[in-house]
Amino acid sequence: MRILVVEDEPQLNLRIEQALEGAGFVVDVAFDGEEGLFLGETEPYDAVVLDLGLPRLDGVSVLHRWREQNRTMPVLVLTARGRWAEKAQAFDAGADDYLTKPFEMDEVIYRLRALIRRVSGHSSPEITCGPVRIDTSQGRVWVDGTAVTLTAQEYRILSYLAHHRGRVVGRSELVEHVYDRDDDRDSNVIDVLMGRIRKKLKADIITTLRGQGWRLEAGGNAP
């Protein structure tokens, strides 16, 4: 899953970035409202962490602009402002959740995971597809009750497909959501990783639709 962090305080921005990367997310960062607005307009994100007190363009204005352009990614607002009226303003602009500074990094991670699940239509952190069980809160995978070890990139691919199970996910979409902007986005690597995932799962739950992409089947038995 790909996250945008818009926070002007360099040390806090770095701490959030490192915490999210440690939790398995792909992270892009911005340090002012104009940069954050541009990235949110032009890049596909699964969620955004947005500070309200930003230079050049405040967070509420950024959020208004995104929503006016029908950018629907869930947004977790960070604020040092304790007044409810200011939090209400953020919700009116289109925020999905908020945290008041200071906060625990683990709470940022868990709130983002919950937002992404809800947007994808999953109420539970565990997603089951046939014999495969994926714990999205812990980043763990089991097949018929036996733990399976995936690399970070393999897990990102499987997790993204699981959050969108039953829907065809195209190659370009998958690349956009599992690779950092600065990575070498050789889409052919996806085929190699998909082969490794299938081999490790030993379960026919991923359907390949030639020329279209891949679909994770809810009940397994993919051709």
| Residue ranges of domains in the chain, CATH in brackets | 2-120 (3.40.50.2300), 126-216 (1.10.10.10)
Number of neighbours of residue 182 by Cβ within 10 angstroms:
7
109-129: pLDDT as tens digits: 999 999 999 888 888 889 998
The torsion angle over the Cα atoms of residues 46, 75, 37 and 160, rounded to 10 degrees, is 0
Q: Kindly report which listed range (60-64, 136-140, 179-183) carries the lowest average pLDDT score.
A: 179-183
Tokens representing residue 134 in the block? 């994926």
18-72: pLDDT as tens digits: 999 999 999 999 999 999 999 999 999 999 999 999 999 999 999 999 999 999 9
User: How many Å apart are CA 112 and CA 185, to the nearest integer?
Assistant: 25
User: Which residues, listed in sequence order, are joined to residue 206 by a DSSP beta bridge?
Assistant: 216
Q: What DSSP designation does 3 have?
A: E
Does residue 169 surpass a pLDDT of 90?
yes
pLDDT, position 222: 41
